[in-house]
Amino acid sequence: MDDQAVRERDARAYEAVHEAADFTELKRRYRNFVVPWTIAFMAWYLAYVACNNWARGFMSHRIGGSHINVALIFGLLQFVSTFAIAALYGRFANRKLDPLAHGLNAKYKRERRR
């Protein structure tokens, strides 16, 4: 087969996958996870940056008479939330995205052989 024919065959296979109901579902699941979580962690991070600028009284509040203050805890919570969202996304992708992606990948390979 020449290059042109290969391209056309691949394009048809991609189009077939794109039309599949599973692909619409995959896109929907991905978007529904990624959009709200991205907004959430950006807002949470910018809130932290803003508090460092404009809420210093609140940030300097010491906790239980120790030298640990709200600013440090807020900063450490950024670490906790980053670890948690990374783990959550991994679990979600393994369970909800990968099976659909595998199925569609197989469909693509079948379509290319047609």
Partner 1 sequence: MNSLLIPLATEPGNRALTISLFSAVVAVTLYITWWASRQNKTAADYYAGGRSFTGSQNGLAVAGDYMSAASFLGISGQIALYGYDGFLYSIGFLVAWLVALLLVAELLRNSGRFTMADQLAFRMKQRPVRTAAATSTIVVSIFYLLAQMVGAGSLVGLLLGVKSEGLKAAVIILVGALMIIYVTIGGMKGTTWVQIVKAVLLMAGTVVITFLVLLKFHFNISDLLGAAATKSGHGESFLQPGLLYGKDLTGQIDFLSLGLALVLGTAGLPHILIRFYTVPDSRSARRSVQWAIGLIGVFYLMTLALGFGAAALLDTGKGSAVAESKGNVASPLLAESVGGGAGSIGGAILLALIAAVAFATILAVVAGLTLTSASSFAHDLYANVIAKEKPSEKSELRVARFAAIGIGAVSIALAIPAQKLNIAFLVALAFAVAASANLPALLFNLFWKRFNTAGATWSIYGGLISAVVLVVFSPVVSGKPTSMITGTDFHWFPLANPGIVSIPLGFLFGILGTYLGRDKSSEERYNELSVRALTGAGAEGPAKH
Binding site for partner 1 (CB under 8 A): 10-11, 13-15, 17-18, 23, 26-27, 30, 33-34, 37-38, 41-42, 45-46, 48-54, 56, 59-60, 62, 66-69, 71-72, 75-76, 78-79, 82-83, 85-87, 89-90, 93-94, 98, 100-101, 104-105, 108-109
Smallest distance from partner 1 to CB 104, Å: 4
Closest CA to 73 of 54, 87, 58, 88: 58
Q: Which two tokens stand for residue 13?
A: 């296979």
Length in residues, the chain: 114
Smallest distance from partner 1 to CB 18, Å: 4
Instruction: Specify the residue, 4 or 53, whose C-beta has the smaller distance to partner 1.
Output: 53
Smallest distance from partner 1 to CB 44, Å: 8
- What are the angstrom distances between the C-alpha of 24 and each of 35, 62, 72, 90, 105? 16, 50, 43, 21, 14
Q: Which two tokens stand for residue 99?
A: 């099976």
